Amino acid sequence: MMTVAAIMCGLLLIMWTTGADVMKRIAAPMIGGMVSSTILTLVVIPVLYALWRGRSLPRKADAEGYPELPLAVTQSRNAPGWRLT
């Protein structure tokens, strides 16, 4: 987030101040790309992952109320010193 904020501040200064016209034309699409990539990374991809992962999770629970787990995890749950945090 700090990298995006620093790049955006620099690009906004290029866009609003006097300077080379070529840099001003490049700054506008770069700002749009930074905004869209940030939204994509922070919102869209996590939502898609949650939807995709939610469909593949097991829905059944065992007698203790825990979801079905692989054998190695089930054995370690019964091991001494194991606790749910």
Q: Render pLDDT for 50-59 as a digit per residue (tens, 0 to 9).
A: 888 877 655 5
Number of structural domains in the chain: 1
Q: Quick check: is 63 in a domain?
A: no
Instruction: Say which residue the tokens 């825990």 belong to.
Output: 66
The gap from C-alpha 76 to its chain's centroid, in whole angstroms, comes to 30
Inside any domain, residue 20: yes
**CB under 8 A, 24+ apart: contacts of 70-74:** none
User: Is residue 64 in a domain?
Assistant: no
User: What CA dihedral angle connects 31, 33, 35 and 37, to 10 degrees?
Assistant: -150
Greater model confidence, 71 or 10? 10
Domain assignment present for residue 77? The answer is: no
Q: Could you tell me if 6 and 16 are in contact, meaning their C-beta atoms sit under 8 angstroms apart?
A: no
Q: Decide if pLDDT at 82 tops 90.
A: no
- 22-48 confidence digits (pLDDT tens): 788 888 899 999 999 999 999 999 999
Residue 8 lies in a domain: yes
| pLDDT at residue 60, as a whole number | 57
25 lies in which domain range? 2-58
70 backbone dihedrals φ, ψ, rounded to 5°: -60, 160
73 within domain boundaries: no
AA identity, residue 74: T
